[in-house]
Structure 1
Amino acid sequence: MANHDPHHHHDHEHGSELSETQLRVRALETILTEKGYVDPKALDAIIEAYETRIGPHNGAKAVAKAWIDPEYKKALLADATKAVGSLGFASRVGDHLVAVENTPKLHNMIVCTLCSCYPWEVLGLPPTWYKSAPYRSRTVIDPRGVLKDFGVTLPSDTDIRVWDSTAETRFIVLPMRPAGTEGWSEDQLAELVTRDSMIGTGLPKAPGAAS
């Protein structure tokens, strides 16, 4: 169900050629800049931030720290906004972040039924499927079926709880730590944490599967 859209849909003989979409974006950027609506330096800073500093690797760091540090885990579940902020990850839109913990008897999933509210500061840009109407509607009424579409099958006695994100409150799933990772460092554990496992549509990688 997850989509991985290529950046270029057509092969070009010359690397300088731009796709139609890229040309439209470039033209819009030029117009907004000329009219003084956009500061090119600010735009470059935002793009650089989302390409290098903001992304699911931030959430993975928070999850890995919670797995090995009981006090941090307690803080994360009590006030995720403050806990991830202590790691340098702060929301730019003032929303409140809530962490929900998976257990052997409870699996959490995140959705936004109204639009695509998403914790950008810890998960980066939302995947295309997260914003799609089928995911937003089906997750609420058939979460187990949606999980199956993602290749996740849970025990029949595991409850599934769906959390609906809003502009004011957004969620991140604290997945269960994989077995066989005793003694692993925080960095090693972070390699096992996937974006989908923090949305609830996936599970962490198994030991040995980390790239």
Structure 2
Amino acid sequence: MPHDHPDHHQRHHRHGAQDAQPSASGAPAHSHLPSDPALRVKTLETILVQKGLIDPAAIDTLIETYSSRVGPQNGAKVVARAWCEPAFRAALLTDATPLLADMGLIGRQGEHVVVVENTPQVHNMVVCTLCSCYPWSLLGIPPTWYKSDAYRARAVREPRGVLAEFGLCLPEGQSVRVWDSTAEMRYLVLPMRPEASAGLDEAALAAWVTRNSMIGTGLPHPPAPTQAQP
């Protein structure tokens, strides 16, 4: 199964000797250029701006939104609150969309969301077999592996094998339920709260919730310790 290794998906070209001349810093000149996909995107953006078809300020706003305000941290806050507030959890499992709308977490690629809960008996897993439908407003932009043909095809045929490749081996008595996202409906997994997180407040709990645990390909775990600055 391919995972998050975007460099594996970049195109590689053979360069002639004239392309490999060192720069003043001693590194090949082409090493200072953006990667091939990034260079193509930048060139296309420049052309569209010159033609007046896009506004650079609007592009900057979108980039800032998806890099800092939209991402798995939003879904993690929802999960942590559900772990702490039984009434919120019950309402979330009954009809998540209005609750998420009140929290400002309904938007593009996430207009209608269903939350499914993991239990000792059932483990939930989300896929989009046709393309890459994904709750952007809760989890940000989908990872590379989520969009891959291998994941989309195998998740429904051999979910346990796929989960094992993510390092997640479920107990034999726990069944796997696979949810297929569509253009009309997105899914969010509510993972089980780890016993080791007892006593933590909502903010601390959110740090335990991983993106993969909300897709169903992972479990919550303690955050990595922050290294002290020398």
- Normalised to the residue count of structure 2, the TM-score between the two structures is 0.84
- Equivalent residue for 1:28? 44
User: Over residues 17-57 of structure 1, what are the superposed CA-to-partner deviations in whole Å (9 max), with x where a residue is unaligned?
Assistant: 32332221111001111222211111111000000000001
> Equivalents in 1 of 2:225, 2:161: separation in Å?
27
Which segments of 5 or more consecutive residues in structure 2 lack a partner in the other structure?
13-26
User: CA offset at residue 209 of structure 1?
Assistant: 5.1
> Equivalents in 2 of 1:75, 1:91: separation in Å?
20
Q: How many residues align?
A: 209
Aligned counterparts, 1:82-97, within 5 A: 82-93=98-109, 95-97=111-113
Q: Identity across aligned pairs (percent)?
A: 56
- Equivalent residue for 1:168? 184
Which segments of 5 or more consecutive residues in structure 1 lack a partner in the other structure?
none
Indicate conservation of the 8 Å contact 1:118/1:126, yes or no: yes
- Equivalent residue for 1:113? 129
User: Over residues 169-199 of structure 1, what are the superposed CA-to-partner deviations in whole Å (9 max), with x where a residue is unaligned?
Assistant: 0100000000022221111101110000000
The alignment status of 1:144 with 2:160, answered yes or no, reads: yes
Superposition CA RMSD, Å: 2.2
> Equivalents in 2 of 1:110, 1:27: separation in Å?
35
> Equivalents in 2 of 1:176, 1:17: separation in Å?
45
**Higher Cα Rg, which structure:** 2
The alignment partner of 2:131 has SS state of coil
- Equivalent residue for 1:158? 174
User: CA offset at residue 94 of structure 1?
Assistant: 6.1
- Equivalent residue for 2:4? 3
- Equivalent residue for 1:39? 55
User: CA offset at residue 12 of structure 1?
Assistant: 6.5
- Equivalent residue for 2:93? 77
> Equivalents in 1 of 2:223, 2:145: separation in Å?
28
- Normalised to the residue count of structure 1, the TM-score between the two structures is 0.91
> Equivalents in 1 of 2:156, 2:90: separation in Å?
28
User: CA offset at residue 60 of structure 1?
Assistant: 0.4
Indicate conservation of the 8 Å contact 1:192/1:210, yes or no: no
The alignment status of 1:60 with 2:69, answered yes or no, reads: no
The alignment status of 1:135 with 2:151, answered yes or no, reads: yes
The alignment partner of 1:100 has SS state of strand
